[in-house]
Structure 1
Amino acid sequence: VLIFLPWIASYRVNWLKERLSTAAAVSIVLLQGEPNALSHNAQNDVLMAIGAKAIAVRDGGVSRLLVVSDMPPQVDEHIDIADVGLVNGMTGALDTLFFGGKRMLRVFGPVGDSDKEFELIMPDYRLRDAMLRYSRNVAVVSLLISLFTAMLVYAAIDLIMIGPIRTMTRSILSFSEAPDDPGRVISPTDRSDEIGVAERELAQMQDRLQKMLSEQKHLADLGLAVSKINHDMRNILASAQLMSDRLRQVKDPTVQSFAPKLLRALDRAVSYSEGVLHYGRTQEPAPSRRRLRLRQLVDDVHGLLDIEEGIEFINAVEMAFEVDADSDHLFRVLTNLCRNSIQAMAADTERTVVRRLAVAAERHGSVSRITVTDTGPGLPPKARENLFAAFRGSARSGGTGLGLAIAHELIRAHGGTVELVESIGGRTVFAVTIPDQPVRLDQARNGLRRPA
C-alpha cells in the first residue's frame, strides 16, 4: 500500500499531463492559423481524440476558447498540474478511483517552456478506467513479484535452516534405530553459525554416546564373565577357608606364623567376590520403608563389625530417635560406611593415635540426618573425585569402592543423599540424609476421622 499510493498518484498526474500536452500542441497549431479554420466536425474529432469537451489557452491574462463541443454546465474539480503535491496527488487519486467516473475536470497549467497556460475541460471516466487498468497491472505484477520473492525466501530458508535441521532430525532418528552403527553418525559441515555448532555438537554427542554404549556392552559382557568366575571362586575360597581353619590347630610355629595372614587374605578375597556379585545385580529391590529405632539398628551394625582392639565405637544416637527407612537397606549402608572407617583407622598402628568411630543422628523437620565420623587419615584426592564410582572410589589398595557405590544407590532409592561432609587428617565425616515419606491426603483424613 505504501508503494501503490505514490505510484497511482504519479500515474494520474502523468496521464493528465499527457492530455494537456496534446491539447497544447493542438492549441499552438490553431493559434498560428485562422480562428475559424477548423469546421465543427473537425473540432469534434480533435476533442474526441483527446477525450475533452473544450480546449482553451490563456496568454497575457486573456483566455481564448479554441475548440469546444457540448460545453458542460459545470466543472466538478479544478486541477492545477503545476501545483499537485504528494499528499494532494494521493488523495485525488483515491478519490478518482473510488468516487470518480461521472465528474467533469478542468485541468490547467503550463506545458514545457511555453509562457502560455493551457486549459482542458474533460470528463474523468477515461482517467478512472486507465487508473483501474494500471492498478490491476500493478496488483498482478506485485503478486508475481511476491510469489517469486516468497519462493526465493523459502528456498533460502530451506537451504540455510530447514534443510540442515531436517538432516539433523533424520540423523537422530536413524541413530536411535542403530546407535552402534558408526555410519549413522551425522557428518557436520564447516558452517560457523548456530546450525554448524549444533551439527558439530550433535556429532560429538553421538560419538560419545556410541563409545559409551560400546563400553557398556563390553562391561556387561565382562561383568557376566566376572560374575560367573566370582561365583566359582567364592566356592573355592570357602573350601580354602575351611582348610585354613584347620591349619590353626597345627602346633608348628612356622604354620602358626603364616596361618593368620593366610586367613586374612582369604577373608579379603571372599569379601571381594561377594561384593562383586552383590553389585552385579541388575537392580536393588524397592525400599520397604517403616519407622525404625535407629539406635538399635546401629547396635546391630556394631555387633556385626570386626573391630580390632584400640578402635573405639560410639553410638551417639538418642534412644527415642526414629527414622523412616528400609531396615535392611539402612543396615547395609551403615555397615559399609562403618567398615570403611574401621579399615581406614586400622592402618594406623601407632598407639598414641586416637582411633574413634561415632554414629550420630539429628532431625530437621521431616528429614533425618545420620553422620558417621571417624578419626582416620582422611580420603585421598583420587577417592574424592570418584567417591561413588564402583571400582574407582576405593581409598585403600586392593579395595573395590563398591561399598560407597552400593550405599549411594540404596539411599537414592529413599529419595535421600550420601555426601562427604569433611575429610582431613584426623577427621572424616559422611552424612546420610533421608526424608520422610510424604503423607497421602486421603490417609491423613482417614486418620483424623473419629467414630461417632
Structure 2
Amino acid sequence: MTINTLSGRFLILTTIFVVLAEILILVPAITNFREDYLLTRLERAQIASLALLTTDQMIEPDLEQELLNNAGVYNVVLRRDAARQLVLSSPIPSPIAATFDLRYSTFPGSIRDAMSELFATQNQIIRVVGEPVQRGGQVIEVTLATGPMRMQMIEYGLRLLALSAMVSGATAVLLFLAVRRLMVVPMKRVIAHITAYAEAPDDARRIIEPEARVVELREAEDALASMQRQLTAAFKQRERLAQLGQAVAKVSHDLRNILTTAQLLADRMEGSDDPAVKRAAPKLINSISRAVNLCETTLAFGKAEEPPPVLSRFPLNGLVQEVAESERLAADAAQIDFVTDVAPNIVIRADREQMYRVLSNLVRNARQAIEATGAPGTIEIGAGEEPEGWWIRVQDTGPGLPERAKENLFRPFSGGVKKGGTGLGLAISAELVRGHGGRLELVKSDEHGTEFKLHLPEALDIGLMERSA
C-alpha cells in the first residue's frame, strides 16, 4: 500500500483527522483542568482561612504553614464587609508574575493562559482572584506557584491523550476497514472485470454483473455493463462487416474484370453504322466506366484506402442534367416529374465522379420513395452559390423518412430508407461530401416530402488533391 493508492491516501487523511480531533479534545480539556485546579485551590484556601477566623486570628505558625501547604498556596487574602484582610501568609520565593481573575475569565482567554503555562519553562508565582463559596466573603485572593499545576496538567494531558488515542485509533481502524470493504474492494472488482473484458471483449461471459450495494458504485457498474454490452455488439458487427468487406472486395475484383471486357466491346460499338447504336454507345461507355471506377473504389475502401477527391472545376448544370436523365430512364415517366433549377453559369470545384455518386444516391432514394407510394410526385434539384462556396438541394414530394431512418440517417446498415435497404447510399454520400470539406444535412422530412442539402466549401482543407480541368 503506497501513498498513490486510494487506501494509502485514505489512511493519511484518517490520520490527519484523528490528530485534529485529538487537538480539539485535548486543548479544551487541559483548559478546563487548569480552571478546576485553580478553583480547588481557592476552595481549600477559604477552608483554611475559616480555621483561623474561628480562633480569633490566634494560631501557631507551624499550624498556619500546614494549612497553607494543604491548600497549595502561599498567601490568602479575604475581603469581607468591604475590608481586605490578609488571613494566612508565608514568605513568597519570587515576585508575582501575573494575576488571573476567574470572575471575568473567557474561554478563549482561558485557552491562551493554559497553553502559555503548559509550555512555560520556569516556575512562576501568580495571583488568583475568585469568589468565595457559600458566600463566605466578597473576594478571595491566593498566591501560588505554577510548577505543581504545570506538572499535573502534563500528567492529565498524557492520560487523556493515551485514552483518546486508543479510542481514536480503534475508530480509525474500523472506519478504514469499513471504507475499504465498501469502496476499495468493489472498485478493485470493477477494475478486475475491466481487465478481464479487455483481454476478450467479444466474450459475453466477461461482462460485469452489477451487485454493489452502494448506490454510486451500483450506478458505475450498471453503466460499465451497458457499455460492455454495446462494445461486444459493436465488435461482433465489426467482424461481420470485415467478412462482408472481404466478400465485396472479391466480388468487385471479379466484376471489374468482367466490366473491363464489356468496356472493350462498347468501344467497338462506336464504329457501328447504326445511328441508334452510335447514340447509345457513349452513354453505355460512361455507365460501364462508372461501374469500373466504383469497383476500383470498393477495392480501395476494403483496404482502408479511400482515395481523396480529385478536384476540378466543371459546370454543375451538366452534371445535374446527367443525373436527372439517368434516373428518368429508370423511373416511370408518367408518375415522376424531374425539375432542375441550376443556373448554367455555376461552376463548382469538386470531384465530378464523386459528386455524381452523391447526387445519384439522393435522387435515387427520392425516386424509390415516391414509387413506393404508387402516386405521382416531383423531384427537384436546385443549386446556388453562397459566400463560403456552393449549395445543392435535392427535394421530393414523397412520404418522408421513417423515424428509424432519421435516428440513424448517415450510419451504414442502420439508416435504410426503404424496406430491405442497407443504408449505405446516404452513408457513402455523407462521407464523400465530408471528403470535400463540406457537409450533407437533412433539412426536413415529413408527409409533404423530404429535402436534403449539401454544402461545398470553395476553400478546401490542406491535403486534398487538386487537378485542373
TM-score (norm 1): 0.68
Residue of structure 1 aligned with 2:91, choices 57, 70, 79: 70
Alignment-derived partner of residue 54 in structure 1: 75
Residue of structure 2 aligned with 1:316, choices 330, 341, 351: 341
Alignment-derived partner of residue 338 in structure 1: 363
Q: CA deviation at 1:15?
A: 0.7
Q: Does 1:416 pair with 2:438?
A: yes
**Residues 142/296 of structure 1: CA separation in 2 closer, same or farther (3 Å cut):** farther
**Residues 289/170 of structure 1: CA separation in 2 closer, same or farther (3 Å cut):** farther
- Contact 1:47–1:67, Cα closer than 8 Å, also in 2: yes
Residue of structure 1 aligned with 2:204, choices 168, 174, 182: 182
Q: CA deviation at 1:238?
A: 12
**Residues 104/393 of structure 1: CA separation in 2 closer, same or farther (3 Å cut):** closer
Residues of 2 paired with 1:106 and 1:299: CA distance? 111
Q: CA deviation at 1:80?
A: 5.2
What letter is aligned with 2:207?
Answer: V
Residues 169-202 of structure 1: per-residue CA shift (max 9 Å, x gap): 4433432232123343223125362332122121
What letter is aligned with 2:302?
Answer: R
- Contact 1:108–1:117, Cα closer than 8 Å, also in 2: yes
Q: Does 1:432 pair with 2:454?
A: yes
- Contact 1:105–1:124, Cα closer than 8 Å, also in 2: no
RMSD: 4.8
Alignment-derived partner of residue 22 in structure 1: 44
Q: CA deviation at 1:366?
A: 0.9
What secondary structure does 1:179 align onto? coil
Within a 5 Å distance, the mapping from 1:319-398 to structure 2 comes to 319-343=344-368, 353=376, 357-374=379-396, 387-390=409-412, 393-395=415-417
**Residues 130/323 of structure 1: CA separation in 2 closer, same or farther (3 Å cut):** farther
Q: CA deviation at 1:381?
A: 5.9
Residues 98-131 of structure 1: per-residue CA shift (max 9 Å, x gap): 7784333154542457569765332334334444
Residue of structure 2 aligned with 1:293, choices 311, 315, 328: 315
What letter is aligned with 2:342?
Answer: V
Q: Structure 2: state its 5+ residue gaps.
A: 1-22, 262-287, 463-469
- Contact 1:55–1:121, Cα closer than 8 Å, also in 2: yes
Residues of 2 paired with 1:201 and 1:321: CA distance? 52
Alignment-derived partner of residue 258 in structure 1: none
**Residues 218/115 of structure 1: CA separation in 2 closer, same or farther (3 Å cut):** same
Residues 234-256 of structure 1: per-residue CA shift (max 9 Å, x gap): 999999xxxxxxxxxxxxxxxxx
**Residues 275/379 of structure 1: CA separation in 2 closer, same or farther (3 Å cut):** farther
Residues of 2 paired with 1:37 and 1:312: CA distance? 135
Residues of 1 paired with 2:407 and 2:94: CA distance? 104
Number of residue pairs the alignment of both structures matches: 407
**Residues 322/177 of structure 1: CA separation in 2 closer, same or farther (3 Å cut):** farther
Q: CA deviation at 1:340?
A: 3.6
Q: Is 177-186 or 23-32 further displaced after alignment?
A: 23-32
Residues of 1 paired with 2:127 and 2:140: CA distance? 14
Residues of 1 paired with 2:119 and 2:307: CA distance? 83
Q: CA deviation at 1:322?
A: 3.2
**Residues 127/408 of structure 1: CA separation in 2 closer, same or farther (3 Å cut):** same
Q: Does 1:110 pair with 2:132?
A: yes
What secondary structure does 1:434 align onto? strand
Identity %: 32
**Residues 226/123 of structure 1: CA separation in 2 closer, same or farther (3 Å cut):** same
Alignment-derived partner of residue 3 in structure 2: none
Q: CA deviation at 1:318?
A: 2.2
Within a 5 Å distance, the mapping from 1:73-222 to structure 2 comes to 75=96, 77-79=98-100, 81=102, 84=105, 86=107, 89-90=110-111, 92-93=113-114, 96-97=117-118, 101-107=123-129, 109-111=131-133, 119-131=141-153, 134=156, 151=173, 153-191=175-213, 193-221=215-243
Residues of 2 paired with 1:319 and 1:281: CA distance? 38
Residues of 1 paired with 2:434 and 2:48: CA distance? 103
**Residues 276/104 of structure 1: CA separation in 2 closer, same or farther (3 Å cut):** closer
